[in-house]
Amino acid sequence: MTEPITTTVILTMVAEAFLGALAGKVTDELEAKLKGDPAQNAFKQALGAAIHRYGTTGSRLDLTRPLLQKNGPLTEPVVAIELVKLVQFEQEPNTELIGQRWKAAMIDPPQWRDFTFEANLLLDHLQAELRATKVFGPVFDAKSLGSIAADAASSAESLANIEAQLAAMNDMLEAQLGNLARTFTRTSFSIRDQILDYTRYIEEKTHGFVGRQWVFDKMNRFLNENPRGYFFIIGDPGIGKSALAAQTVKQNGYVHHFNIRAEGINKATTFLKNICAQLIAAYELEHTVLPPETTDDAGFLNKLLGEVSGKLKANEHCVIVVDALDEVDRIGTPTGANLLYLPLIVPKGIYFVVTMREDDERKLKPRVDCEQAELYIDHDSSDNLADITDFVQASTTRPGIRTYITAQGIETSEFVTLIVQKSEGNFMYLRYVLPEIERGAYKDLELAAIPVGLQSYYQDHWQRMRGMDEAAWFEYKLPVIVALTVVLEPVSIDLISDFSKVKQRSRIRAVLRDWVPFLHDEVVEYEGGTQTRYRLYHASFFDFIAKKEDVADERVDLKAAHGQIADTLWKDLFGEDK
Q: How far apart are CA 268 and CA 366, in angstroms?
A: 13
pLDDT of residue 138: 85
Cα separation values, 47 from 35, 122, 123, 166, 351, Å:
17, 9, 9, 10, 41
pLDDT of residue 245: 96
61 and 199 Cβ atoms separated by less than 8 Å = yes
Give, as one character, the DSSP assignment of residue 445: S
Number of helical (H) and strand (E) elements in the chain, helices listed first: 28, 7
Q: Tell me the Ramachandran region of residue 234: left when phi exceeds 0, alpha when psi lies from -120 to 50, beta otherwise.
A: beta
Q: How far apart are CA 148 and CA 135, in angstroms?
A: 6
Query: What is the Cβ-side half-sphere exposure of residue 363, based on CA atoms within 13 angstroms?
Result: 7
pLDDT of residue 145: 76
Q: How far apart are CA 562 and CA 483, in angstroms?
A: 8
> Going by DSSP bridges, is the β-strand pair 372-377/350-357 parallel, antiparallel, or unpaired?
unpaired
The fold of the 178-377 domain, in CATH, is: Rossmann fold (3.40.50)
pLDDT of residue 355: 95
Query: Domain-by-domain residue ranges, the chain?
Result: 7-164, 178-377, 382-452, 460-574
Q: What is the mean pLDDT of each run of 10 residues along the chain (578 residues)?
A: 63 81 66 70 87 81 84 87 85 91 86 88 90 84 77 67 81 83 84 89 86 94 96 89 94 94 87 96 92 93 96 92 91 85 96 86 81 92 93 90 90 93 87 85 81 78 76 83 73 82 86 75 72 74 63 48 49 44
Query: Got the DSSP string for 387-406?
Result: HHHHHHHHHTTSHHHHHHHH
Measured over the CA atoms of residue 492, residue 494, residue 495 and residue 497, the dihedral's sign is positive
pLDDT of residue 258: 96
> Going by DSSP bridges, is the β-strand pair 529-536/519-526 parallel, antiparallel, or unpaired?
antiparallel
Q: Residue 500: which H helix or E strand, with range?
A: helix 493-500
Cα separation values, 375 from 110, 243, 334, 534, Å:
40, 16, 28, 33
- Compute φ and ψ for 113, nearest 5 degrees: -80, 135
Q: How far apart are CA 556 and CA 545, in angstroms?
A: 9
Q: How far apart are CA 265 and CA 80, in angstroms?
A: 40
Please state which CATH class domain 460-574 belongs to.
Answer: mainly alpha
Strand order in the sheet with 255-258: 255-258, 318-323, 350-357, 229-235, 372-377
Q: How far apart are CA 254 and CA 355, in angstroms?
A: 15
First and final CA of the chain: distance in angstroms? 61
pLDDT of residue 546: 65
| Closest CA relative to residue 346, chosen from 437, 452, 223 | 223
DSSP β-bridge partners for residue 376 = 234
Does 460-574 match 178-377 at the fold level? no
